[in-house]
Chains A and B, each alone.
Chain A
Amino acid sequence: MRALRIGFLLGFRQIQRANKWTTGLIIFVMALTFINLIAVSGILVGLIAGSERALQEKSLGDIIVTTLPDEDKILNTDAFIRELEQLPEIKSFTVRYQVGGQVEANYKTRSDFSKDANIVSGRLVGINPVAEDAVTGLSKNIVEGEYLDPSEQGYVLIGALNIDRYTAGFADITGSLENIYPGSTVRVTINDNTKEFIVKGIIDAKVGEVSTAIYIPERELRRLSGATSRDAEEIAIRLDPTTDGQAVKQTLLALGLDKQAKIRTFTEAIPKFVVDIKNTFNILGVFIGAIGIIVASITIFIIIFINAISRQRQIGILKGIGIERRVIEVAYVLQAAFYAIVGSAIGVAITYGFLVGYFERNPIDFPFSDGILVAEPIGTLYRFVILFIITLLAGFFPAWLIVKRNTLNSILGRK
């Protein structure tokens, strides 16, 4: 305890009297290291987290209801909907009717019948435009034209990934529509029934389910597909933000709705490969962060080593007048701890006070996701502890090397 107290006095005074610019620079390096440790893995994970969030906001909702494994429809969808309408935790929901079909463009101007028609096969989704917009904000994803008006008929929204100018060539495999703009006429075919629609808008979201879909008002879709039942394929539910999705799911299960459909929270519905990619990126981030830690520990080692070696004679004299080795070691470890704590504190302040909010407001525009910065407090604490321990070791080791030298040799500056 005595050694700790005197070591603290020596270490504290060394920090206090040190050159302010040098101290500032060391702390700056430590802060950058800490930010690097959090930000690299945070952005990598955030890339997937942004993708997940987009999937939740623009497609799946907070709870997604789909067909049972052996069924092709949600059984007794109307009854299911009536139950949903009774639950106050549910803010809104949208019922989707989905069917495979074809969309053909430019058929009126087609002159060369030896070439393939300009057709794309895709997923047609019948929606109530108002309900869908309330759950997924679909209208916000219009990149050309306008959103569907519930009072109009004969209009369609086409996902951008069905259109050649948005697919940059990769749709050679899946096919794409050429010269399609808002106002263009397309022919939609479902089960041999065909009807002309006018393209009202083009939708682009960084969610494949949205950008590959073709949206039609649900009544027109059912009419065109010849469906006699009102049973749907999918219901996306948006909850009040304070409501726990798992709790609502349990309520739905308690109502016995799981006999009519498969009910999953958003988290449960995330495809496994997305979770795997997220974990992989996390590990990758830790590896990259580890390089940062190694650089920081070498920096601290060099700083403490130079500091200690330049004071070698003083260290010898301290030992000469009876100051224990561990007192001197504590003084240097304290300095390292100071750099780690202050640097990390600044790193935390910058990360949570600025970076997280900044990336939340201005996500990084990756091709398949709007990347955010994910910095879970527990992960940050974990990284701080690692950085702190390594910094202490990096501070202790050079001090130990210098302090263990022969006292008289240190005093006389002999090697």
Chain B
Amino acid sequence: MTSIIRATGITRTFGKGDLTVQILKGIDVDVLTGEFVAIMGKSGAGKSTLMYQLSVLDEPTSGEIIIEGIDVVQLDEVEATSFRLNTLGYVFQDYALVPDLSAEENVMLPLLMRGENWEVARGTARTAIDEVGVAGKYPNLPGQLSGGEQQRVAIARALAGKPKILFADEPTANLDSISGRAIIDLITSLNRDYGQTVVMVTHEREYAMGANRIIHMEDGLITGIEELRPHHT
């Protein structure tokens, strides 16, 4: 089995001088290709901060993160943006769709940025929207969709470009339990059926049960790794 993410000695410190706060205190994490890893912990445990480091949205104070053989800590801003576009997919808590763009255009945006032409991008976007279960909502603005539908469109946006790794930061936080369950089922099936590598931060143990492993965190450290089901590449 090969590691798609290998992080060693990750620390993240905020502030200066006496006001320094160390959120991550030396984390080592490996994520295997096709694996579904959930990160759990109480508020302030550092789980979101860890995800931001792994997803190249933030730069660790020290440590090394290798994704797909690339030392992402060494990337400059332009390279990091390009890396995120071509390699990673994101699902945020509050869907984070562009309110002025239709569902279809939201999904098309990263595809267009990759250089796909309008028609190809639109075809890919519609397929992705169909696959996440909101078929026919292509022209709807985010404001015309329910929370669950918006999160599905956000997942479609994250997946349309076929990312190597999907990062999900508490994707059910703003959803009711039924919609939340449906989103988790969708993410789980993406992993099980299509071998999509997923790293998800969640508060809810119930939602983490579909993962291969749960990484438990407390006070900036990994306190335990729970193997739920074996992962086979």
A residues near B (Cβ < 8 Å) are 2, 5-6, 9-10, 13-14, 16-17, 313-314, 317-325, 327, 407-408, 411
Contact = CB atoms under 8 A, between A and B. Distances in A.
B52 interface: yes
Given A6-B109, A13-B105, A323-B113, 7 more contacts: A2-B112, A17-B100, A317-B92, A317-B96, A321-B158, A322-B113, A324-B81
Contacts of B228: none
A10 B112 contact: no
Consensus secondary structure, chain A interface: helix
B61 interface: no
Interface in B96-122: 96, 98-101, 105, 109-110, 112-113, 115
Interface of B: 52, 57-58, 78, 81-82, 84-86, 88-90, 92, 96, 98-101, 105, 109-110, 112-113, 115, 141, 157-158
B54 to A, nearest CB: 13
Interface hub of B78, B85, B89, B100 (most chain A Cβ within 10 A): B100
Given A408-B52, A411-B57, A2 B100 contact: no
A337 B85 CA distance: 28
16 contacts: A5-B112, A6-B112, A13-B100, A16-B100, A17-B99, A314-B96, A317-B90, A320-B90, A321-B110, A321-B157, A322-B82, A322-B113, A324-B78, A324-B81, A408-B52, A408-B57
B76 to A, nearest CB: 12
A319 B89 CA distance: 12
A414 to B, nearest CB: 10
A176 B99 CA distance: 77
Nearest to B169: A411
A320 to B, nearest CB: 6
Contacts of A408: 52, 57-58
A318 B99 CA distance: 12
A411 B56 CA distance: 13
Contacts, number: 68
Given A13-B105, A408-B52, A408-B57, A322 B96 contact: no
A5 to B, nearest CB: 7
Contact of B90 (A5, A10, A313, A321): A321
Given A318-B98, A407-B57, A17 B141 contact: yes
A319 B110 CA distance: 10
B82 A14 contact: no
Nearest to A407: B57
A6 B113 contact: yes
A408 B109 CA distance: 20
A10 B101 CA distance: 8
B112 A314 contact: no
Contact of A319 (B81, B100, B115): B81
Contacts of A323: 81, 85, 109-110, 113
A408 B100 CA distance: 22
Contacts of B89: 321
Contacts of B96: 313-314, 317
A123 B113 CA distance: 81
Contacts of A16: 100
